Protein backbone atom coordinates (compact mmCIF):
# COMPACT_ATOMS: atom_id res chain seq x y z
CA UNK A 1 0.00 0.00 0.00
CA UNK A 2 1.33 3.44 -0.90
CA UNK A 3 1.13 6.06 1.77
CA UNK A 4 -1.90 7.93 2.98
CA UNK A 5 -1.25 11.44 4.29
CA UNK A 6 -3.63 13.21 6.64
CA UNK A 7 -3.32 16.98 6.88
CA UNK A 8 -5.40 18.29 9.75
CA UNK A 9 -6.01 19.07 13.38
CA UNK A 10 -4.35 17.56 16.41
CA UNK A 11 -6.16 18.43 19.65
CA UNK A 12 -6.60 17.38 23.24
CA UNK A 13 -10.18 16.47 24.12
CA UNK A 14 -11.24 17.58 27.60
CA UNK A 15 -14.29 15.46 28.24
CA UNK A 16 -16.80 16.08 31.04
CA UNK A 17 -19.86 13.90 31.59
CA UNK A 18 -22.82 15.44 33.34
CA UNK A 19 -26.45 14.65 34.08
CA UNK A 20 -27.40 18.31 33.98
CA UNK A 21 -26.36 21.42 32.04
CA UNK A 22 -25.80 24.39 34.36
CA UNK A 23 -27.89 27.52 33.95
CA UNK A 24 -26.11 30.89 33.62
CA UNK A 25 -24.44 31.65 36.97
CA UNK A 26 -25.07 28.13 38.30
CA UNK A 27 -22.43 25.63 39.51
CA UNK A 28 -23.18 21.93 39.50
CA UNK A 29 -21.24 18.72 40.22
CA UNK A 30 -20.63 16.56 37.15
CA UNK A 31 -20.05 12.81 36.73
CA UNK A 32 -16.53 12.40 35.32
CA UNK A 33 -13.63 14.05 33.52
CA UNK A 34 -10.97 12.68 31.13
CA UNK A 35 -8.33 14.05 28.81
CA UNK A 36 -8.00 12.00 25.63
CA UNK A 37 -6.30 12.62 22.28
CA UNK A 38 -8.55 14.04 19.58
CA UNK A 39 -8.78 16.48 16.71
CA UNK A 40 -10.39 15.28 13.51
CA UNK A 41 -7.11 15.05 11.61
CA UNK A 42 -5.32 13.02 14.26
CA UNK A 43 -8.39 10.86 14.82
CA UNK A 44 -8.60 9.98 11.13
CA UNK A 45 -4.88 9.21 11.04
CA UNK A 46 -5.29 6.85 14.00
CA UNK A 47 -8.30 5.16 12.39
CA UNK A 48 -6.23 4.59 9.23
CA UNK A 49 -3.21 3.33 11.11
CA UNK A 50 -5.19 0.79 13.15
CA UNK A 51 -6.53 -0.70 9.93
CA UNK A 52 -3.19 -0.77 8.12
CA UNK A 53 -0.97 -3.78 8.09
CA UNK A 54 2.24 -1.95 7.22
CA UNK A 55 3.83 0.15 9.95
CA UNK A 56 3.85 3.94 9.44
CA UNK A 57 1.85 3.75 6.24
CA UNK A 58 0.14 6.93 7.38
CA UNK A 59 1.79 10.32 7.68
CA UNK A 60 0.35 13.20 9.68
CA UNK A 61 0.93 16.84 8.79
CA UNK A 62 -0.27 19.60 11.09
CA UNK A 63 0.83 21.57 14.13
CA UNK A 64 0.75 21.52 17.91
CA UNK A 65 1.78 24.14 20.43
CA UNK A 66 4.97 24.19 22.44
CA UNK A 67 3.29 22.83 25.59
CA UNK A 68 2.62 19.58 27.45
CA UNK A 69 -0.52 18.77 25.44
CA UNK A 70 1.48 19.11 22.24
CA UNK A 71 4.13 16.67 23.47
CA UNK A 72 1.53 14.16 24.65
CA UNK A 73 -0.33 14.30 21.36
CA UNK A 74 2.80 13.72 19.30
CA UNK A 75 3.65 10.76 21.52
CA UNK A 76 0.16 9.40 20.99
CA UNK A 77 0.56 9.63 17.20
CA UNK A 78 3.89 7.81 17.41
CA UNK A 79 2.40 5.14 19.65
CA UNK A 80 -0.18 4.61 16.94
CA UNK A 81 2.58 4.03 14.34
CA UNK A 82 1.90 7.32 12.58
CA UNK A 83 4.84 9.04 10.92
CA UNK A 84 4.83 12.56 12.36
CA UNK A 85 8.37 13.93 11.95
CA UNK A 86 6.97 16.89 10.01
CA UNK A 87 4.27 17.90 12.47
CA UNK A 88 5.21 21.43 13.47
CA UNK A 89 5.61 22.71 17.04
CA UNK A 90 4.78 26.39 17.02
CA UNK A 91 4.46 29.22 19.57
CA UNK A 92 0.69 28.86 20.05
CA UNK A 93 -1.41 26.80 22.41
CA UNK A 94 -2.20 23.25 21.31
CA UNK A 95 -5.76 22.96 20.03
CA UNK A 96 -8.34 21.69 22.50
CA UNK A 97 -11.92 20.50 22.32
CA UNK A 98 -14.05 20.96 25.40
CA UNK A 99 -16.58 18.15 25.17
CA UNK A 100 -19.62 17.82 27.39
CA UNK A 101 -21.36 14.47 27.30
CA UNK A 102 -24.96 14.97 28.35
CA UNK A 103 -28.06 12.93 27.66
CA UNK A 104 -26.15 10.49 25.38
CA UNK A 105 -25.00 13.27 23.11
CA UNK A 106 -21.98 15.52 22.97
CA UNK A 107 -21.66 19.28 22.84
CA UNK A 108 -18.26 20.50 21.70
CA UNK A 109 -16.43 23.82 21.95
CA UNK A 110 -13.16 23.98 20.05
CA UNK A 111 -10.24 26.33 20.60
CA UNK A 112 -8.17 25.72 17.44
CA UNK A 113 -4.87 27.19 18.69
CA UNK A 114 -1.99 25.79 16.63
CA UNK A 115 -4.43 24.06 14.25
CA UNK A 116 -5.58 27.40 12.88
CA UNK A 117 -2.01 28.65 12.47
CA UNK A 118 -1.05 26.03 9.89
CA UNK A 119 0.46 27.61 6.81
CA UNK A 120 2.18 26.05 3.82
CA UNK A 121 4.60 28.97 3.48
CA UNK A 122 7.54 27.15 5.00
CA UNK A 123 6.74 23.75 3.50
CA UNK A 124 9.25 21.83 1.41
CA UNK A 125 9.47 18.29 2.79
CA UNK A 126 5.70 18.43 3.38
CA UNK A 127 4.99 18.91 -0.32
CA UNK A 128 7.35 16.02 -1.07
CA UNK A 129 5.42 13.85 1.38
CA UNK A 130 2.14 14.78 -0.25
CA UNK A 131 3.58 14.10 -3.68
CA UNK A 132 4.54 10.58 -2.63
CA UNK A 133 1.07 9.86 -1.28
CA UNK A 134 -1.59 7.84 -2.94
CA UNK A 135 -4.39 9.52 -1.01
CA UNK A 136 -4.57 12.75 1.00
CA UNK A 137 -7.24 13.20 3.68
CA UNK A 138 -8.51 16.66 4.72
CA UNK A 139 -11.11 18.02 7.18
CA UNK A 140 -12.35 21.45 8.30
CA UNK A 141 -10.26 22.06 11.41
CA UNK A 142 -7.39 23.81 9.62
CA UNK A 143 -7.69 26.99 7.53
CA UNK A 144 -9.76 26.70 4.37
CA UNK A 145 -7.03 28.30 2.22
CA UNK A 146 -4.59 25.58 3.27
CA UNK A 147 -7.08 22.85 2.35
CA UNK A 148 -7.74 24.46 -1.00
CA UNK A 149 -4.06 24.84 -1.80
CA UNK A 150 -3.41 21.19 -0.96
CA UNK A 151 -6.41 19.99 -2.95
CA UNK A 152 -5.23 21.96 -6.00
CA UNK A 153 -1.70 20.59 -5.64
CA UNK A 154 -3.08 17.04 -5.43
CA UNK A 155 -5.26 17.50 -8.49
CA UNK A 156 -2.27 18.81 -10.48
CA UNK A 157 -0.23 15.80 -9.36
CA UNK A 158 -3.04 13.22 -9.80
CA UNK A 159 -3.15 12.34 -6.12
CA UNK A 160 -6.56 11.33 -4.77
CA UNK A 161 -8.18 13.49 -2.08
CA UNK A 162 -10.80 12.54 0.50
CA UNK A 163 -12.33 15.68 1.98
CA UNK A 164 -14.44 15.41 5.14
CA UNK A 165 -15.99 18.89 5.47
CA UNK A 166 -16.40 18.66 9.26
CA UNK A 167 -17.19 20.56 11.34
CA UNK A 168 -19.61 22.53 9.19
CA UNK A 169 -18.38 25.92 8.14
CA UNK A 170 -19.54 28.33 5.52
CA UNK A 171 -17.27 27.67 2.57
CA UNK A 172 -17.66 27.84 -1.14
CA UNK A 173 -18.01 24.64 -3.09
CA UNK A 174 -14.74 25.32 -4.92
CA UNK A 175 -13.07 22.41 -3.09
CA UNK A 176 -15.39 20.01 -4.89
CA UNK A 177 -13.59 20.50 -8.18
CA UNK A 178 -10.30 19.35 -6.70
CA UNK A 179 -11.28 16.36 -4.58
CA UNK A 180 -12.30 12.79 -5.38
CA UNK A 181 -14.53 12.08 -2.40
CA UNK A 182 -16.41 14.44 -0.11
CA UNK A 183 -18.14 13.13 3.01
CA UNK A 184 -20.41 15.62 4.79
CA UNK A 185 -23.07 14.63 7.30
CA UNK A 186 -26.60 15.93 6.74
CA UNK A 187 -25.93 19.19 8.53
CA UNK A 188 -22.67 19.84 6.68
CA UNK A 189 -24.41 18.94 3.43
CA UNK A 190 -26.92 21.74 3.98
CA UNK A 191 -24.10 24.21 4.51
CA UNK A 192 -22.46 23.14 1.27
CA UNK A 193 -25.63 22.97 -0.81
CA UNK A 194 -28.28 25.16 0.81
CA UNK A 195 -30.40 25.10 -2.35
CA UNK A 196 -30.10 21.47 -3.41
CA UNK A 197 -32.20 18.62 -2.06
CA UNK A 198 -30.13 15.66 -0.90
CA UNK A 199 -31.13 13.58 -3.92
CA UNK A 200 -30.31 16.36 -6.39
CA UNK A 201 -26.92 17.02 -4.80
CA UNK A 202 -26.00 13.35 -4.81
CA UNK A 203 -27.06 13.03 -8.43
CA UNK A 204 -24.86 15.97 -9.38
CA UNK A 205 -21.78 14.33 -7.86
CA UNK A 206 -22.16 10.57 -8.40
CA UNK A 207 -19.62 8.33 -6.67
CA UNK A 208 -18.00 11.41 -5.16
CA UNK A 209 -20.44 12.89 -2.70
CA UNK A 210 -21.11 10.55 0.21
CA UNK A 211 -23.52 11.82 2.87
CA UNK A 212 -23.49 10.16 6.28
CA UNK A 213 -26.95 10.13 7.85
CA UNK A 214 -26.21 8.68 11.31
CA UNK A 215 -28.52 5.79 12.13
CA UNK A 216 -30.23 6.23 8.75
CA UNK A 217 -27.09 5.04 6.95
CA UNK A 218 -24.90 6.50 4.22
CA UNK A 219 -26.26 7.96 0.97
CA UNK A 220 -24.68 8.23 -2.47
CA UNK A 221 -25.63 8.18 -6.12
CA UNK A 222 -23.82 5.46 -8.04
CA UNK A 223 -24.31 7.01 -11.49
CA UNK A 224 -27.46 5.00 -12.10
CA UNK A 225 -29.41 5.37 -8.91
CA UNK A 226 -29.67 6.85 -5.46
CA UNK A 227 -28.55 4.41 -2.77
CA UNK A 228 -28.55 4.24 1.01
CA UNK A 229 -26.13 1.83 2.64
CA UNK A 230 -27.68 0.94 6.01
CA UNK A 231 -25.98 1.71 9.31
CA UNK A 232 -25.51 -1.05 11.89
CA UNK A 233 -27.39 -0.27 15.11
CA UNK A 234 -25.13 -0.11 18.18
CA UNK A 235 -25.46 0.43 21.90
CA UNK A 236 -23.39 3.62 21.83
CA UNK A 237 -21.16 4.55 24.75
CA UNK A 238 -19.59 7.57 23.03
CA UNK A 239 -20.23 8.71 19.47
CA UNK A 240 -17.34 11.21 19.48
CA UNK A 241 -15.06 10.33 16.56
CA UNK A 242 -17.54 8.01 14.81
CA UNK A 243 -17.32 10.18 11.69
CA UNK A 244 -13.52 10.17 11.89
CA UNK A 245 -13.50 6.39 12.11
CA UNK A 246 -15.81 6.21 9.10
CA UNK A 247 -13.53 8.47 7.06
CA UNK A 248 -10.33 6.71 8.12
CA UNK A 249 -11.76 3.29 7.31
CA UNK A 250 -13.14 4.52 4.00
CA UNK A 251 -9.69 5.88 3.11
CA UNK A 252 -8.08 2.51 3.81
CA UNK A 253 -10.69 0.58 1.85
CA UNK A 254 -10.38 2.89 -1.17
CA UNK A 255 -6.61 2.67 -1.11
CA UNK A 256 -6.98 -1.11 -1.05
CA UNK A 257 -9.03 -0.73 -4.23
CA UNK A 258 -12.45 -1.65 -2.87
CA UNK A 259 -15.29 -0.35 -4.99
CA UNK A 260 -16.94 2.73 -3.42
CA UNK A 261 -20.07 0.98 -2.06
CA UNK A 262 -17.99 -1.83 -0.59
CA UNK A 263 -15.65 0.76 0.96
CA UNK A 264 -18.67 2.41 2.59
CA UNK A 265 -19.89 -0.93 3.98
CA UNK A 266 -16.43 -1.56 5.43
CA UNK A 267 -16.37 1.93 6.98
CA UNK A 268 -19.84 1.44 8.45
CA UNK A 269 -18.57 -1.59 10.39
CA UNK A 270 -15.60 0.44 11.65
CA UNK A 271 -17.70 3.34 12.93
CA UNK A 272 -20.23 0.92 14.43
CA UNK A 273 -17.42 -0.66 16.48
CA UNK A 274 -15.90 2.71 17.43
CA UNK A 275 -18.91 4.07 19.30
CA UNK A 276 -18.90 1.18 21.72
CA UNK A 277 -15.90 2.52 23.66
CA UNK A 278 -15.18 5.84 25.31
CA UNK A 279 -13.09 8.53 23.56
CA UNK A 280 -12.75 9.60 19.94
CA UNK A 281 -9.88 7.16 19.37
CA UNK A 282 -10.99 4.74 22.07
CA UNK A 283 -12.98 2.24 20.08
CA UNK A 284 -11.30 2.58 16.69
CA UNK A 285 -11.00 -1.02 15.48
CA UNK A 286 -8.09 -2.97 14.06
CA UNK A 287 -8.48 -4.85 10.79
CA UNK A 288 -8.69 -8.06 12.81
CA UNK A 289 -11.65 -6.69 14.75
CA UNK A 290 -13.47 -5.71 11.57
CA UNK A 291 -12.79 -9.11 10.07
CA UNK A 292 -14.38 -10.65 13.14
CA UNK A 293 -17.63 -8.75 12.56
CA UNK A 294 -20.55 -10.66 11.03
CA UNK A 295 -20.98 -8.02 8.30
CA UNK A 296 -17.41 -8.39 7.05
CA UNK A 297 -17.43 -9.77 3.52
CA UNK A 298 -14.77 -12.30 2.61
CA UNK A 299 -14.75 -11.12 -1.01
CA UNK A 300 -13.14 -7.87 0.17
CA UNK A 301 -10.02 -9.90 0.62
CA UNK A 302 -8.29 -7.32 2.81
CA UNK A 303 -5.02 -8.07 4.51
Which chain residues interact with Na ion by CB under 5 A?
238, 274, 277, 282-283
62 is in an annotated binding site: no
Question: Out of Na ion, ligand RIB, none, which partner does residue 283 contact, by CB within 5 to 8 A per kind?
Answer: Na ion
The reply on whether position 283 binds ligand RIB by CB under 6 A is no
The reply on whether position 111 binds ligand RIB by CB under 6 A is no
The reply on whether position 271 binds ligand RIB by CB under 6 A is no
User: 94 and 73 in contact (C-beta within 8 Å)?
Assistant: yes
Interface with ligand RIB in residues 71-100 (CB under 6 A): 97
**Interior angle at CA 142, CA 269 and CA 170, nearest 5:** 85
| Region of residue 103 (phi > 0: left; psi between -120 and 50: alpha; otherwise: beta) | left
Question: Residue 17 or 227: which CB sits closer to ligand RIB?
Answer: 17
Helix residue spans in the chain (DSSP H)? 40-50, 68-79, 125-131, 144-156, 186-192, 198-204, 242-255, 260-274, 287-291
Q: How many chain residues are in contact with ligand RIB, going by CB under 6 A? A: 15
The reply on whether position 244 binds ligand RIB by CB under 6 A is yes
* Alpha carbon 48 to chain centroid, angstroms: 10
Question: Out of ligand RIB, Na ion, none, which partner does residue 11 contact, by CB within 5 to 8 A per kind?
Answer: ligand RIB
Interface with ligand RIB in residues 3-32 (CB under 6 A): 11, 13
User: 287 and 53 in contact (C-beta within 8 Å)?
Assistant: yes
Nearest one of 6, 84, 90 to 41, comparing CA atoms: 6
User: 61 and 7 in contact (C-beta within 8 Å)?
Assistant: yes
Choose, from 103, 105, 177, 244, the residue flagged as catalytic. 244
Reply yes or no on whether 85 is catalytic: no
How near is the Cβ of 243 to Na ion at its closest, in Å? 11
- Whole-angstrom Cα distance, residue 218 to residue 205? 15
User: 192 and 184 in contact (C-beta within 8 Å)?
Assistant: yes
Question: Out of ligand RIB, Na ion, none, which partner does residue 113 contact, by CB within 5 to 8 A per kind?
Answer: none
Q: What is the DSSP string of 44-64?
A: HHHHHHHT-SSTT-EEEE-EE
* Piece of 86-94, 126-134, 189-197, 241-249 that binds ligand RIB (CB under 6 A): 241-249
The reply on whether position 240 binds ligand RIB by CB under 6 A is yes
- Whole-angstrom Cα distance, residue 270 to residue 266? 7
Interface with ligand RIB in residues 134-163 (CB under 6 A): 141
Question: Residue 43 or 76: which CB sits closer to ligand RIB?
Answer: 43
Nearest one of 243, 192, 199 to 221, comparing CA atoms: 199
List the catalytic residues.
Answer: 244
Contact footprint for ligand RIB (CB under 6 A): 11, 13, 38-40, 43, 97, 108, 110, 141, 240-241, 243-244, 280
- Binding-site residues for K(+): 238, 240, 274, 277, 279
- Binding-site residues for substrate: 11-13, 39-43, 141, 244
Amino acid sequence: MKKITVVGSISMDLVTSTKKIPEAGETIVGQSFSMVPGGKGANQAVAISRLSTEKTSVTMLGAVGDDTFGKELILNLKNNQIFCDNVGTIPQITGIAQITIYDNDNRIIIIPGANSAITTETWTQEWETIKESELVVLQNEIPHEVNLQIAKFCKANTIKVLYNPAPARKTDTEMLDFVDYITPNEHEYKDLFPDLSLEDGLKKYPNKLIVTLGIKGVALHDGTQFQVIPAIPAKAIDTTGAGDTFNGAFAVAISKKLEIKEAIKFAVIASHLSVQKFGAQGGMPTLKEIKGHENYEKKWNLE
